[in-house]
Chains A and B, each alone.
Chain A
């Protein structure tokens, strides 16, 4: 059974700081890994998708890496801003398509002005 863990559960940083969020998973036979952002009481917004054959993806100030052999992914946020405050979730899909994902419980990020 796939288990996904995100550490830390909460993180508070001053504006402008670079930061790393961690995601670990127990079954390395993944189809893809996706990072999401969730604002309070809202749905999930896709940030980055990494296919199982890829090592990293970048979008703007965000960079996600994937190391299947060690069962780890990191989300790097450069030059954090107060608008980045949200809960960040990673999700791992097994099998041959997306969906049927196993999620971590997320890291709640607060960026202080």
Chain B
């Protein structure tokens, strides 16, 4: 148990729709990072939030956006869903300072039809 939870577990959407995925970090963890993992590949970094501000972004288009709240919860929003967005979405929380171990949630499996 990492203390990081994600909801929902599974989600099915159709192309063009919008989706919101949620993550609850460990208490005291100021940093949350979101990753997309396609089948058979390693996770790809989407973006990171530190104390409610975006703190770095990977090679993902603006239709991927996020929010972090003061209660250690966060959201990943994806607009105009495409078939290639089908993947496992993972959030990871960390302290934001040494030793900075990342703790991952169980993920949300998104299927876009």
A44 CB → nearest B CB, Å: 4
Interface residue stretch chosen among A12-20, A58-66, A76-84, A92-100: A92-100
Q: Interface of B with A (CB < 8 Å)?
A: 2, 4, 6, 31-33, 35, 40-45, 48, 50, 56, 58, 88, 90, 92, 94, 96-107, 109
Extra A-B contacts (8), CB below 8 Å, given A42-B106, A46-B103: A4-B42, A44-B104, A45-B104, A51-B98, A99-B94, A100-B48, A103-B42, A103-B43
Question: Is A89 located at the chain interface by the 8 A CB criterion?
Answer: yes
Q: How many pairs, one residue from A and one from B, have CB atoms within 8 Å of each other in the complex?
A: 82
Partner of B41, one of A31, A42, A44, A105: A105
Residues 5-33 of A, flagged 1 when their CB comes within 8 A of B and 0 if not, give 00000000000000000000000000110
Partner of A43, one of B2, B32, B96: B2
B28 CB → nearest A CB, Å: 14
* Contact status B90-A98, CB under 8 Å: no
* Contact status A104-B105, CB under 8 Å: no
A7 CB → nearest B CB, Å: 13
* Contact status A41-B33, CB under 8 Å: no
Interface size (A, Cβ < 8 Å)? 27
A49 CB → nearest B CB, Å: 5
* Contact status A98-B104, CB under 8 Å: no
Partner of B42, one of A34, A45, A89: A89
* Contact status B42-A99, CB under 8 Å: no
* Contact status A49-B99, CB under 8 Å: yes
Chain A hits for B32, CB < 8 A = 99
For A44, A93, A103, the residue with the greatest tally of chain B CB atoms inside 10 Å of its CB is: A44
